[in-house]
Amino acid sequence: MKKFIIKNAKIIDPSENLNEISDLLIDDGKIIQISKNIDISNLEIIDLNKKTLIPGLIDLHVHYRDPGETYKENIESGSKSSAKGGFTTVLMMANTTPTMDCVEVLEKQKDIINKNASIRVLQTASVTVGRKGEKLVDIDALSNYGVVGFSDDGDVVENPELFTKGLLKAKNNNKLIFQHCEDTDLINNGVINDSPISIRLGLNPRSSEAESKIIERDIKIAKKNKYSLYFQHISSKKSIELIRNAKKLGINIIAEVTPHHLFMNELWTYGLKGNVPEFLNLNSYDTNTRVNPPLRTEEDRKELISALKDGTINLIATDHAPHSQGDKLNTFEDAPAGINGAELALSTMLTLVNNEELSIQEVIKFMSNAPGELLNKIMNLKVGKIKKGYEADFTIIDESKSFIVSKKTFLSKSINSPLINSELFGKVYMTIYGGKIVYKEH
The catalytic residue positions are 319
What single-letter DSSP state applies at residue 348? H
Cβ–Cβ < 8 Å for 174, 164:
no
How far, in Å, CA of 22 to CA of 121, rounded? 29
Backbone angles phi, psi at 253, to 5 degrees: -125, 130
298-271-198 Cα angle (round to 5)? 60
- Do 196 and 221 meet the contact criterion of CB atoms below 8 Å apart? no
Where on the phi/psi map is residue 338: left (φ > 0), alpha (ψ -120 to 50), or beta?
left
Is 332:285 a contact under the CB 8 Å cutoff?
yes
CA-CA distances (angstroms) from residue 292 to 253, 413, 442? 21, 21, 34
Q: Got the DSSP string for 130-160? A: GG-SSSB--HHHHHHHT-SEE--TTS----H
SS3 state at 358: coil
> What residue type is 315 in one-letter code?
L
DSSP result, 255-281: EEE-HHHHH--GGGGGT-SSPPPTT--
105: part of which helix (H) or strand (E)?
Answer: helix 103-116
Q: What are phi and psi of 116, to 5 degrees?
A: -120, -15
Length of the chain: 442
Is residue 106 within 8 Å of 135, Cβ to Cβ?
A: no
- Alpha-carbon distance 227 to 252, whole Å? 7
CA distance 211 to 234: 8
Q: CA angle 199-204-208, nearest 5°?
A: 95
SS3 state at 189: coil
